[in-house]
Structure 1
Amino acid sequence: MIKTVLGKLVLILTAAAAVLLLTSSAEQKRSSFTIHLIGDSTMAPKDLSGGNPERGWGMMFPNFLDDSVKVINYARNGRSTKSFMTLGHWAEVEANLQKGDYLFIQFGHNDSKQSDTTRYAAAWGAYQDNLRHYIKVAREKGAVPILLTPVSRRWFKADTLDETCLEDYPQAMKQVAEQENVTLLDITKVTMDWLKSLGDSASREYFMHVAPGTIPAMPEGKTDNTHTNAKGARKVASLICGEIARQIPEIAAHFVHYDIVVAQDGTGDYFTVQEAIDACPDYSHEQITRILIRNGVYNGMVTIPHNKFRLHIIGESADSTIISCGKYARQMWPGRDFNVGTSGSAGFYIHSSYVTIENLTILNPAGEGKEIGQAVALFTNGDRLFFKNCRIIANQDTIYTYGRWNKEGGPCRNYFLNCYIEGTTDFIFGPSIAYFENCTIHSKKNSYVTAASTPEGQKYGYVFHNCRLTAAEGVDKVYLGRPWRPYANTVFINCELGSHIHPDGWKSWPRELYPSGEGTAFYAEYGNYGPGASPETRVKWSVQLTKKQAEEYSFEKVMHQDTDTKEWNPEDNR
């Protein structure tokens, strides 16, 4: 009776906790806000056709914020406080402003154009009146107005920056901020200080200095000391974030840091993943380089060479950030009379160590069949590689854990956490140590999940812990593994095995050059459940572990090597 009451109490408390958690999550979603950006070309989005390298800082600004904050960039080239209203842009902003949002206001470059009556707004007159109008409407909407003085022009005379390049507009804005009690970010000052610290020559690489014949969009070249390229826009955005951190802690609480951002729409530092990897430091022995990849399908092979270690590559979303390459074993090397083979068929190669891949899809869409052969999605050839919340999808030979030895002489190690892995035949194979935890392993045809080639004498090979094995409709005869080499080592612990798993569980592999593995391979299970878990029908040469034996397959024990100088912490993979 007491046990029944306690059981009910636990259920009630669990349900209450779940309700609180859901409520908290809903409140967090409601507490997020939008930052509306209004301004001129130094902030605005750009037309990237013809390889145009120009970027406004507003394009880069979202990369500094977590995904609970939305940024809408309404800025337009050539706008002043006056023309932004008369051309109808302000009406759109006004309609979208919500209570709790922020309105960032930065004008001044075009307000000074006295010869253009459609834009001119005198610094101590119409300019200030227009700023007050924006402030008034924002407050009426329950939004928070923030004034930003204009970005400095890069006007040097005899290696001295011209600090009068923005005339009286920064001071006029400061006066409005003081009179209206509005937070002001003095971007004129911080950008001037930055430019002065660099000097004339060194600051050019941040601005639109384009040599003739290098960019199709501007074949004659360009020298523009007002507008920034991607590197300059990122720098200006980072300076603005520094001022936000000093004055607006509510926004600063949402700051994130990425060393490099990849985006196909030009809002990052690079367009391709390979460009970002190539830009990473060589032989980084302590610092981790964090790379954010925005949503998109990135076609083409990616290689992380041996000298680019300590990388943390993060996708914007696992389903929509896709690295895709359709190479396959039977295709011919360009200009040669032989095919690429299994090892040459991969789309994503990792030859380095201390690499974390998180929250993205690695796809080989080549298909299958005799004319295709193997088509590897992921090829690992490094130590301490961590894959978290990834989707790794192909057909035959999806993941090739190729690496054998690390630089200390121990085996290469891979850790797959909360991943989805899909394939047909031998779709997890190779000699490395690999630990799969809380992963879904999905079979698309009647075949084999693993084909380990563990070297003789290596204690561990593949370990699957708390994983779920599923299958496509109609698939009903899948083996947990077969030995690619005679000492293959594969263990499944506390895994849910679907009805598609063959009662024998494992299959020997008689081959011309290698023994079948029967009697030398180590294939074992412990605590598996589900319709495919059938210890009594397994092949006689496989093993059902005892509890004590299963304890030897913890993450810490599998990943430890006597040659290690420190224990591996995948979440701080340095």
Structure 2
Amino acid sequence: MKHKLTLLLGLFFLLSAFTADKPVITIFMIGDSTMADKSLTGGNPERGWGQMLPGYLSEEIRVDNHAVNGRSSKSFIDEGRWEKVISQVKKGDYVFIQFGHNDEKSDPKRYTAPGTTFDENLKRFVNETRAKGGIPVLFNSIVRRNFGTADGNKLIDTHGAYLDSPRKVAKELGVAFVDMNKVTHDFVEGMGPVESKKLFMWVPANQVAAIPKGREDNTHLNVYGGRVVAGLAMDAVAKEVPELAKYVRHYDFVVAQDGSGDFFTVQEAIDAVPDFRKNVRTTILVRKGVYKEKIVVPESKINISLIGQEGAVLSYDDYAQKKNCFGEEKGTSGSSSCYIYAPDFYAENITFENSSGPVGQAVACFISADRVYFKNCRFLGFQDTLYTYGKDCRQYYEGCYIEGTVDFIFGWSTAVFNRCHIHSKRGGYVTAPSTDRGQKYGYVFYDCRLTADEGVTEVYLSRPWRSYAQAVFIRCYLGKHIVPAGWNNWGKKEAEKTVFYAEYESTGEGANPKARAPFSHQLKSIKGYEIETILAGNDGWNPVKNGNELLDIKR
């Protein structure tokens, strides 16, 4: 039975080490400046709604935005832009089509007539997309902010028959149609003539380097407006194209280095979270990129969910002996790349990295908060990678990867590591708990896999940073890098009487119960070591059963 369990566990970790290639669907976007990507030079705040669309979609969808400022359906074709797009469309891809603003222009290079040439161009886009196995979706133009009625509270249409052409073509050809004009009209009019300025390019003079003279523009969107309209668009698309609904995501904030989010840095997004926002999570998407910044989640920013796209890395390069601005060493605590002080913090698919290298103590993540949950995260560093600092704090790590050399998981907190991959880059010690006397639990590793770089030997499961250290490994696979003794007393003979180091059904070449240090234990039962029991505390926190659901706690 034990042999079968070993084989099954090994197979589980082998399979979990590989991720199946996700099928990627591309949404090609063709249109004008209200949809187009904008330059970020000089702090330019203008955004097209297509530029912001990736923040509303899962990673199975790729957005390829070909919309260009000033183009009509005619000039887009005549300049060869459509030919470039359609050559890339493959079966199952989508093409979002939105023209009209510039088809209205009298310029003969751009002008088309609704009912004739404009409709013909739209039909061409639709038919050629279908011929490639793609799926066309027609949109009409977003509304202009034109409050021109006597009372100033009603919007006046400026697009006329150009709004009807996409609708008519869609009906004639059996194509999905999104009435973006109505969607944005209702939203802008609902905001009113004053508040709606927040959506558009109303920029005072001498505030933005890209627009030194300022601008009052009722057609083009700013960062906030682009995000809002993109969200409205995807909600409307989900209704008209149900096949895309499962890919739609909504986050309170999006962080992106390419300008497709609310912020460029993670810290800006955290700072924007209202203090002590109760009974609801604030969700932050971190798009792909390496964000070199020292991050602090203060105690007042409770209930944050930080969700990363694949390749989202939070990195910094401080280390203990590095000097601060006063010429003093930063120390271990001061070396961390990320600090988490707020309770009920949740992170998923985020890499926390200290990139300083093998320079002594250099923390990737410092956690001094209760009910903190990490799912599918990575913690990268060398010595002292993960600092579970908070006393009387509980942390849960699920499916995470943690690497280091010496004491790379250490601290006071009660922490459960469930199905995690723990990797030693050099000889040393995996954990260094400093569990307080009388604390019921320290570190518990459930069904984890312990591996090492090629040629690494002489790795211990733990050594006691404090005399009452606790670490228990349950059904873990231990590689051959784990020494037969398994446990080290850190030269503290007296600590052998007070530490609690134990294993239950360890497997792998590093599992050697008969040779283990005499002060360690081989458990015959794991009663009392159920994950829900370890983390329950006084409030019944159970992330295994309830995920990142918030507890009903009075604050």
TM-score, length-scaled by structure 2:
0.91
In 1, distance between residues paired with 2:480 and 2:329? 38
Report the equivalent of 1:72: 64
Q: Where does residue 420 of structure 1 map in the other structure? A: 401
Give deviations 1:455-478, integer Å, cap 9, x for gaps: 110110001111121122332111
- Per-residue Cα deviation, 1:179-230 (whole angstroms, up to 9, x for no partner): 4343321111111111111111101111112222222222222222111112
Q: Give 1:438's match in structure 2, choosing from 419, 424, 436.
A: 419
Residues 503 and 248 from structure 1, CA distance in 2 versus in 1: closer, same or farther, beyond 3 angstroms? Answer: same
CA distance in 2, matches of 1:444, 1:172: 63
User: Does the alignment pair 1:104 with 2:93?
Assistant: no
Query: Structure 1 residue 328 and structure 2 residue 325: aligned?
Result: no
Matches within 5 A, 1:484-503: 484-503=465-484
On the 8 A contact 2:532/2:541 being kept in 1, the answer is no
Counterpart check, 1:88 vs 2:80:
yes
Q: Which residue of the partner structure matches residue 137 of structure 2?
A: 146
Q: Give the distance between the partners of 2:211 and 2:494, measured in 1 at CA.
A: 65
Contact 2:287 2:308 in 1 (8 A): yes
Cα separation, partners in 2 of 1:463 and 1:189, compared to 1, 3 Å: same
Pairing 1:166-565 to 2, within 5 Å after superposition: 166-317=159-310, 320-334=311-325, 336-369=326-359, 373-404=360-391, 411-510=392-491, 516-547=494-525, 550-561=526-537, 563-564=538-539
- Aligned residue identity for 1:343: S
Partner of 2:128: 137
- Secondary structure of 1:82's counterpart equals helix
- Residue 39 of structure 2 aligns to a residue in which SS? coil
**Pairwise CA distance, 1:443:** 1.4
CA contact (8 A) 1:356 1:573 kept: no
C-alpha separation in 2, matches of 1:473 and 1:176: 63
- Which residue in the other structure is 2:553 paired with? none
Do the aligned residues in 1 keep the contact of 2:147 with 2:156 (CA within 8 Å)? no
User: CA offsets per residue over residues 41-80 of structure 1, 9 Å max, x none?
Assistant: 1011111122111111111223222222333211111100
Write out per-residue CA displacement over residues 235-294 of structure 1, whole angstroms, 9 at most, x where no aligned residue.
111222232233221222322222221111111121111111112232233212222211
Which deviates more from structure 2 when the two are superposed, residues 536-545 or residues 164-173? Answer: 164-173
Cα contact 1:50–1:215 (8 A) shared by 2: yes
CA distance 1:414–1:130, change in 2 (3 Å): same
TM-score, normalising length from structure 1? Answer: 0.88
Distance 1:337 1:301 in 2: 19
Contact 2:155 2:189 in 1 (8 A): no
User: Partner of 1:126 in structure 2?
Assistant: 117
Cα 1:248/1:474, change in 2 over 3 Å:
closer
Q: CA contact under 8 A between 1:289 and 1:311: conserved in structure 2?
A: yes
Q: Is the 8 A contact 1:509 1:516 kept in 2?
A: no
- Seen in structure 2, the aligned counterparts of structure 1 residues 261 and 139 have a Cα distance that, compared at 3 Å, is same
The CA RMSD measured in Å over matched residues stands at 2.3
Instruction: Return the offset for 1:401.
Output: 0.5
Structure 1 distance, partners of 2:484, 2:291, is: 41
Q: Can you list the C-alpha shifts for 1:307-360, whole angstroms capped at 9, x where unaligned?
A: 11222212111xx211101111112221x1422211111001110111111112
Whether the aligned pair in 1 keeps the contact of 2:535 and 2:541 (CA below 8 Å) is no
Runs of 4+ in 1 over 6 A off after TM superposition: none
How far is the alpha carbon of 1:133 from its aligned partner? 2.1
Name which of structure 1's ranges 424-433 and 496-505 shifts more when overlaid on structure 2: 496-505
Where structure 2 has 5 or more consecutive residues not aligned to the other structure, the ranges are 551-555
How far apart, in 1, do the equivalents of 2:169 and 2:356 lie?
61
| Partner Cα distance (1:555, 1:361) in 2 | 24
- What does residue 3 of structure 1 align with? none
CA distance in 2, matches of 1:447, 1:303: 29
Q: What is the Cα deviation at residue 295 of structure 1?
A: 1.1
Name the CA distance, whole Å, in 2 between partners of 1:331 and 1:390.
27
User: How far is 1:565 from its partner?
Assistant: 5.3
Q: Is the 8 A contact 2:253 2:284 kept in 1?
A: yes
Contact 2:138 2:178 in 1 (8 A): yes
Classify the secondary structure of the residue corresponding to 1:500: coil
Residue pair 2:253, 2:283 contacting (<8 A) in 1 also = yes
Write the distance in 1 (CA, Å) between the matches of 2:333 and 2:412.
13
Displacement after TM superposition at 1:570 (Å): 5.3
Name the count of aligned residue pairs. Answer: 533
Q: Check whether the contact 2:49–2:230 (CA below 8 A) recurs between aligned residues.
A: yes
TM-aligned CA distance change 1:430 to 1:295, over 3 Å:
same
Q: Which amino acid aligns with 2:533?
A: K
CA contact (8 A) 1:354 1:573 kept: no
Deviates more, 1:469-478 or 1:152-161: 152-161
CA distance in 2, matches of 1:393, 1:72: 32
1:476 aligned counterpart, secondary structure: coil
CA distance in 2, matches of 1:299, 1:33: 30
- Rounded to whole Å, the distance in 2 between the matches of 1:185 and 1:309 is 38
Q: 1:516: Cα distance to partner?
A: 4.8
Q: Which residue of 2 aligns with 1:4?
A: none
Q: Which structure 1 residue ranges, 5 or more long, are not aligned?
A: 1-6, 405-410
| 2-structure distance, mates of 1:107, 1:245 | 21
For residues 365-424 of structure 1, give each alpha carbon's deviation from its aligned partner in whole angstroms, at most 9, with x where no partner exists.
11234xxx31100101111111111110111111111101xxxxxx21111111111111
Amino acid across the alignment from 2:436: P
Contact 1:161 1:195 in 2 (8 A): no
Q: Which amino acid aligns with 2:515?
A: T
Q: Which residue of 2 aligns with 1:407?
A: none
